[in-house]
């Protein structure tokens, strides 16, 4: 009889959308120069996984680390504008290498630079999610980094471990793989405890795990095990499995996806899909109301439909596209969601079928839905 750990690992073969994060210490040498062999190895595995039918998003660190030696720095400076300058130089170099390498394996890549505001602002969140999903549907591989060249420390997401977890949550990924220079989570810091043992499976995430984390990672990176645990907490609470594993293991991505017991696997909590939307929708102020008819109400509640203009009866309040609004049928709140249209435009298109939107609005509408079901949280 197989143990629960092996059973859970075997389920990794069924994942369809994966986020992979690589750290600075994995993609560069100690002198800050890019590790081309690792980049090639990484690109080949990701390309092959995509060819097999998986959708893959790559979150990469390294812009500052790559830019530092180009500007004559031997270590990361404390002065923020210098770090931003290094990021500006390094990002272009890094993306050029990724683009060239993935192209050799027949892949199209797309660069996305994100900030904390993209994750917490409902309008920018909506556009980021739409861009990510569209890139995947069109067969591209999104390559994501934090926009360190323009982001001040106080408004940074913090580190790319956390960024990768946020991307996994926003993109509705099935699995996050963090590749690092550490094997996984140990029961004690292996750098100071020679008898420390790796923990291969974490069936239930608890805050006590943070006591096992050591300090930060390498001088070129920003993370350590602590930031990976922060990422794990985001993932498991969002219903996403997460693995931390050593990046230089041969064929590491193949082996992890096939269920081999490498690194540390954090089990996802059994989260209802609706609850994944709660933070972004409930956490923002409701700017207005949209009232719908009974047929639209039934379609939303019973069929999981998007909110279409044809089912809208009236609009209340002043709001813009990207704002959170409440959806009512009579006096009952059915749902909350992020709208694609402002209140004035909804007034023009309410009760109408999608093919009439352009003539009513005077421009080609970007969306046929007023609120897409992916951005609609049922409140009943």
| 130 marked ligand binding residue | no
| 303 marked ligand binding residue | no
| 295 marked ligand binding residue | no
Structure tokens at 315: 């609009």
CA distances in angstroms from 83 to 31, 80, 86, 161, listed in the order given:
17, 5, 5, 19
| 215 marked ligand binding residue | no
Whether residue 301 contacts residue 373, with contact meaning beta carbons closer than 8 Å, is answered with no
User: Which H helix or E strand runs over 281?
Assistant: helix 278-282
| 158 marked ligand binding residue | no
Whether residue 115 contacts residue 151, with contact meaning beta carbons closer than 8 Å, is answered with yes
The alpha carbon dihedral of 166, 171, 177, 179 has a sign of negative
DSSP letters, 17-50, are EEEEEE-HHHHB-TTS-B-HHHHHHHHHHHHHHH
| 148 marked ligand binding residue | yes
| 181 marked ligand binding residue | yes
CA–CA separation, 133 and 192 (whole Å): 43
CA distances in angstroms from 207 to 183, 190, 211, 271, 365, listed in the order given:
21, 20, 8, 18, 46
CA–CA separation, 260 and 251 (whole Å): 11
| 6 marked ligand binding residue | no
CA–CA separation, 188 and 166 (whole Å): 27
| 180 marked ligand binding residue | yes
Place of tokens 């594993």: 245
| 227 marked ligand binding residue | yes
| 264 marked ligand binding residue | no
Query: Which residues contribute to the annotated binding site for ATP?
Result: 21, 180-181, 222-228
Query: Which residues contribute to the annotated binding site?
Result: 21, 61, 148, 160, 180-181, 222-228
Query: Which residues contribute to the annotated binding site for substrate?
Result: 61, 148, 160
């Amino acid at each position: 009889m197989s143990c629960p750990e092996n059973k859970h690992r075997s389920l990794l073969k069924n994942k369809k959308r994966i986020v992979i994060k690589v750290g600075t210490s994995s993609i560069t040498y100690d002198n800050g120069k890019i590790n081309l062999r690792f980049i090639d190895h990484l690109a080949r595995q990701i390309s092959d996984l995509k060819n097999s039918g998986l959708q893959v998003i790559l979150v990469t660190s390294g812009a500052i680390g790559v830019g530092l030696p180009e500007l004559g720095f031997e270590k990361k400076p404390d002065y923020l504008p210098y770090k931003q300058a290094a990021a500006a130089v390094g990002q272009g170099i890094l993306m050029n290498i990724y683009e060239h390498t993935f192209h050799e394996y027949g892949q199209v890549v797309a660069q996305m630079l994100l900030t904390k505001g993209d994750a917490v602002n409902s309008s920018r969140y909506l556009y980021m999610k739409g861009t990510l999903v569209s890139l995947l549907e069109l067969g591209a591989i999104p390559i994501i980094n934090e926009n360190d060249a323009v982001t001040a420390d106080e408004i940074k997401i913090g580190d790319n471990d956390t960024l990768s977890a946020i991307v996994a949550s926003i993109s509705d990924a099935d699995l996050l793989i963090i590749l690092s220079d550490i094997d996984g989570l140990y029961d004690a810091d292996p750098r100071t405890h020679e008898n420390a043992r790796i923990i291969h499976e974490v069936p239930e995430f608890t805050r006590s795990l943070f006591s096992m984390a050591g300090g930060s990672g390498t001088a070129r990176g920003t993370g350590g095990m602590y930031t990976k645990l922060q990422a794990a907490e985001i993932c498991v609470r969002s219903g996403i499995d997460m693995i931390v594993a050593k990046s230089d293991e041969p064929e590491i991505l193949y082996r992890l996806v096939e269920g081999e017991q490498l690194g540390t696997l954090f089990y996802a909590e059994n989260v209802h899909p609706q609850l994944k939307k709660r933070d972004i929708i409930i956490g923002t102020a409701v700017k207005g109301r949209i009232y719908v008819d009974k047929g639209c109400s039934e379609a939303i509640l019973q069929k999981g439909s998007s909110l279409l203009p044809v089912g809208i009866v009236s609009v209340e309040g002043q709001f813009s596209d990207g704002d959170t609004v409440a959806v009512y049928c009579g006096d009952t709140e059915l749902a909350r969601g992020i709208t694609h249209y402002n209140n004035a435009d909804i007034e023009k298109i309410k009760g109408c079928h999608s093919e009439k939107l352009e003539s009513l609005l005077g421009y080609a509408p970007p969306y046929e839905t007023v609120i897409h079901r992916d951005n609609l949280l049922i409140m009943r």
